[in-house]
Amino acid sequence: MHAVQIKEHGGPEVMRWTELPDPTPGPGEVLVRLGVAGVNYMDTGARAQGGPGWAAPAVLGAEGMGYVTALGASAGGLAAGDRVAWFYHPGSYAELLAIPADSLVKVPHGITDETAAAVMLQGITASHLSTEAYPVKPGDTAVVHAAAGGVGLLLTQMIKARGGKVIGLVSREEKAAVAEEAGADHVLVWSGGGFEDRIRELTGGRGADVVYDGGGTDTFHSSQLALRPHGVHAYYGPFMGVPTFRPTDLPNSILLTYPVMLHHVPDHEALVHRTGEIFDLILGGQLTPRIGGRYALADAAQAHTDIESRRTTGKLLLLP
């Protein structure tokens, strides 16, 4: 099989289309032929700087969908030919993968391969943000950073489905229409910080109930200043930078949370439950992922170049 491998950390140029031995599923694992892999900012961080589980050499990618081709011992609940999806399995930029059965969910009829791959990691992140990091209630106002990106577009639609209002932040004028199409009530074209005054204007001086902030250190302080007293700053952008601060720096008695990805779905039961809710939203017409680009798996380096340029919108996918 072939996979996209790095032997050292660096820019997209370190990514190599490499022939590797076919994996063999061990006990509790399933052999999956890749159908579609998702591209995430997390992947670019793993490529550029590594991190836990991403020491070079490594095959990049964490998310995707595919087709079961063989089962290891004690891998129950699945059968050859099943369409399955996963939200976190390191090494997903590969034609074949041996994945623990407990990391997989079946893709229901009516959900396309591309849609399934597009909503796993980013959809689960958006679901966790809008239901647990801060459970959006009817009438709440939420600020969504990178509102035309993969997480931002899904998050906007989920907030609207829960009766909330959305103020979206986008980096370029051409992205504003994309965020509005997803349901954002207001869209601000803004780069970096300094947007807190506009948020307060749009909320009648009160401030937002929650800011979903994947913007990194440049937006950290302004996100907090844009909140109402006891509002929630949900910061989920570790690969965009991790700021340092003192607890006494927090304004307006706000609450700060850092939703850890692996806490989104701590076990298989939670994975099935959360993905079931996401699939129901899709089948009910309340959630539609926007595919921002399709690339051959062998061209994953170009997908990384494009997503890091911040010129893309929606979800980028890799096709074997």
Examine the domain organization and report whether 96 and 217 are in the same domain: no
Looking at this protein, which amino acid is placed at residue 291? I
Is residue 268, in this structure, part of any structural domain at all?
Answer: no
pLDDT value of position 82: 98
Is residue 15, in this structure, part of any structural domain at all?
Answer: yes
Examine the domain organization and report whether 188 and 225 are in the same domain: yes
Is residue 284, in this structure, part of any structural domain at all?
Answer: no
Q: How many CB atoms lie within 10 A of CB 315?
A: 28
Is residue 176, in this structure, part of any structural domain at all?
Answer: yes
pLDDT band at residue 215 using 50, 70 and 90 as cut-offs? confident
Structure tokens at 162: 């829960």
What burial class does residue 33 get, using C-beta atoms within 10 Å of its C-beta: 0-12 exposed, 13-18 middle, 19+ buried? middle
Examine the domain organization and report whether 134 and 244 are in the same domain: yes
Looking at this protein, which amino acid is placed at residue 136? V
Asked if 318 contacts 35 with a C-beta cutoff of 8 angstroms, the reply is: no
Q: Answer yes or no: is pLDDT of 105 > 90.
A: yes
Show the CA angle centred on residue 64, arms to residues 59 and 67, nearest 5°.
105
Strands 2-6 and 141-144: unpaired
pLDDT value of position 29: 98
Examine the domain organization and report whether 6 and 102 are in the same domain: yes
Q: For residue range 200-213, what is the model confidence (pLDDT) as tens digits? A: 999 999 999 999 99
Range of the domain at 169: 126-262
Q: How many CB atoms lie within 10 A of CB 272?
A: 15
Examine the domain organization and report whether 195 and 145 are in the same domain: yes
Examine the domain organization and report whether 99 and 161 are in the same domain: no
pLDDT band at residue 238 using 50, 70 and 90 as cut-offs? low
Angle between helices 41-49 and 300-308 (to 10 degrees): 100
More reliable by pLDDT, 169 or 76: 169
How does DSSP classify residue 226?
T
Is residue 271, in this structure, part of any structural domain at all?
Answer: no
Q: For residue range 301-312, what is the model confidence (pLDDT) as tens digits? A: 999 999 999 889
CA 209 to CA 255: how far, in whole Å? 11
Average pLDDT over residues 276-294: 97
Asked if 212 contacts 234 with a C-beta cutoff of 8 angstroms, the reply is: yes
Q: For residue range 165-190, what is the model confidence (pLDDT) as tens digits? A: 999 999 999 999 999 999 999 999 99
Whole-structure pTM value = 0.93
Average pLDDT over residues 121-147: 97
Examine the domain organization and report whether 252 and 135 are in the same domain: yes
What burial class does residue 102 get, using C-beta atoms within 10 Å of its C-beta: 0-12 exposed, 13-18 middle, 19+ buried? middle
Average pLDDT over residues 258-266: 85
Q: Answer yes or no: is pLDDT of 214 > 90.
A: no
Asked if 115 contacts 140 with a C-beta cutoff of 8 angstroms, the reply is: no
pLDDT band at residue 51 using 50, 70 and 90 as cut-offs? confident
Show the CA angle centred on residue 131, arms to residues 287 and 237, nearest 5°.
85
Is residue 195, in this structure, part of any structural domain at all?
Answer: yes
Examine the domain organization and report whether 95 and 153 are in the same domain: no
Examine the domain organization and report whether 16 and 35 are in the same domain: yes
Is residue 218, in this structure, part of any structural domain at all?
Answer: yes
Average pLDDT over residues 249-273: 92
Look up the CATH number of the domain holding residue 87: 3.90.180.10
Average pLDDT over residues 258-285: 93
Q: Answer yes or no: is pLDDT of 240 > 80.
A: no
Angle between helices 268-283 and 150-161 (to 10 degrees): 80
| pLDDT, averaged across the chain | 95
Average pLDDT over residues 24-39: 98
Look up the CATH number of the domain holding residue 253: 3.40.50.720
Residue whose tokens read 């961080």: 45
Is residue 306, in this structure, part of any structural domain at all?
Answer: yes
Examine the domain organization and report whether 110 and 145 are in the same domain: no
Examine the domain organization and report whether 178 and 232 are in the same domain: yes
Asked if 47 contacts 60 with a C-beta cutoff of 8 angstroms, the reply is: yes
Domain count across the chain = 2
More reliable by pLDDT, 239 or 5: 5
More reliable by pLDDT, 30 or 237: 30
CA 270 to CA 297: how far, in whole Å? 30
**Residue that terminates a domain, selected from 262, 280, 306:** 262
Examine the domain organization and report whether 115 and 25 are in the same domain: yes
